[in-house]
Amino acid sequence: MLLKHFLWMVLTVGWSFGALAATDAEPPTVLVLGDSLSAAYGIPRSAGWVALMQDRLAQAGYPHQVVNASVSGETTAGGLRRLPAQLQRHQPALLIIELGGNDGLRGQPLPALHNNLRAMVEQGQQAGARVAIFGMRIPSNYGAAYAEQFHSRFAAVAEATGATLLPFFLEPIALDEDAFLPDGIHPNAAAQPRLLEHAWPVLEPLFKSSTSG
């Protein structure tokens, strides 16, 4: 009887610790490093596509917690400076890089854009995160050659690093004037669900893989 009682206690305690460990396991983190397009510029932050993604994840049964580290006006250089601290603090399972548009609008050198993007991807991967890059386009009045080469850098970095690529984040609304604020640059609140729907098919496989390990 004593032996049976002892074995029962061992099994019960072991199960309790296992259940506690499972309960206390931290949900995977999604870190969004972006500019005003992800910082919900000009609209309530709760209406931005990043906040809507958190809601969509919960509705779909994913345990992920989203951290929005986006800053309006951010460039790839600024993102690269901020990324190490963000990685250390949040230890994300998934890193979404939505940067580069401000580099293009300011006519920054394309090699710097390329190198900054690649460095951010590689830092994220080295920290154990799966990485997605959101590509961008700029108007052709910056020069057709510059605009095309700018856009191609996102694909080049994704191909070189194995990162997941969304070729053009604003694609579903780019030609719809009613989807933007009066400045003609920033998407309005009504456009945010369309941006999420566009990105979701690219991101969902990463959510699945980061849940299963």
Residue type, position 207, single letter: F
Q: Which of 36, 38, 70, 210 is catalytic?
A: 36
Show the CA angle centred on residue 37, arms to residues 36 and 41, nearest 5°.
Answer: 50
pLDDT at 23: 41
Distance (Å, whole) CA 155 – CA 150 = 10
Tell me which of 64, 114, 186, 198 is the catalytic residue. 186
**Domain residue spans in the chain?**
26-212
Phi first, then psi: what are they for 77, rounded to 5°? -65, -45
How many other C-beta atoms are found inside a 10 Å radius of the C-beta of residue 136? 24
Q: Alpha helix (H) ranges present in the chain?
A: 2-24, 49-59, 76-90, 101-105, 110-126, 144-161, 192-212
Q: pTM above the 0.75 mark?
A: yes
Choose among 70, 64, 68: nearest CA to 29: 64
**For the CA atoms of the chain, what is the radius of gyration?**
21
186 assigned to active site? yes
Instruction: Tell me if residue 36 is catalytic.
Output: yes
Task: Supply 202's token pair.
Answer: 């690219």
Angle (CA) 37-38-39 rounded to 5° is 95
**For residue 24, what pLDDT is reported?**
57
208 three-class SS = helix
Are 78 and 87 contacting, i.e. CB atoms less than 8 angstroms apart?
no
Q: Give the active site residue among 5, 24, 183, 212.
A: 183
Give me the pLDDT at residue 8, please: 41
So what's the pLDDT on residue 212? 63
Is residue 148 within 8 A of residue 104, CB to CB? The reply is: no
Superfamily for domain range 26-212: SGNH hydrolase (3.40.50.1110)
Q: How far is CA 39 from the centre of its chain?
A: 12
What six digits make up the tokens of 181?
Answer: 């604020």
pLDDT of residue 3: 43
Strands 164-166 and 130-134: parallel
Spell out the per-residue pLDDT of the chain, length 213, in tens: 444 443 344 334 443 334 333 345 789 999 999 999 999 999 999 999 999 999 999 999 999 999 999 999 999 999 999 999 999 999 999 999 999 999 999 999 999 999 999 999 999 999 999 999 999 999 888 899 999 999 999 999 999 999 999 999 999 999 999 999 999 999 999 999 999 999 999 999 999 998 765
pLDDT of residue 21: 38
